[in-house]
Amino acid sequence: MKVYISGTFTAQARLRPMAERLREAGHTVVSSWLYEPQQRPAHLSDAAWNLTLADKDIAEVFSADCLILDRIGESTSGGRYVEWGVACHPTEMKLRYTVGGGPDLVFAHKRHRHFDGWDDALAYFQVNHAAR
């Protein structure tokens, strides 16, 4: 299964091991933002860099079968919620899961399942989404 992990940019280091565990279980993690540098290349303006990142992330969300929204920690850009919105588009048939977080926002109710933490989410994947 192709999985997109959506989260705050400051959570990259914390989420990389989760992506690795999904890969070890036979899934493809398509969220390349987990490995992006924190600064833009010198030849791009801020606007061009941000547009490039936004377009890439949206394309990766569309390519996924499942989106996992990590709601642990404060959002630094709002990007994770845009990615969630893309995954909730009526033409998309993606599985949508949330992990952690505080009070539910209205669109969090578009999820198929919520997990209190990543251990629970990964255990659920082992049983319900075993790679074949």
Higher pLDDT, 104 or 116: 116
Domains, the chain, with CATH or none: 2-128 (3.40.50.1220)
Global pTM reads 0.91
Each as own residue / partner, the long-range contacts of residues 94-98 (CB below 8 Å, 24 or more positions apart, any chain) are: 94/64, 94/65, 94/66, 94/67, 95/65, 95/66, 95/67, 96/66, 96/67, 96/69, 97/66, 97/67, 97/68, 97/69, 97/121, 98/68, 98/69, 98/71
Distance CA 125, CA 22 (A): 8
Distance, CA of 87 to CA of 63 (rounded, Å): 10
Instruction: Tell me the mean pLDDT in the region 5-30.
Output: 95
Higher pLDDT, 132 or 44: 44
Residue 36's pLDDT is 86
Question: 61-79: per-residue pLDDT in tens?
Answer: 999 999 999 999 888 787 8
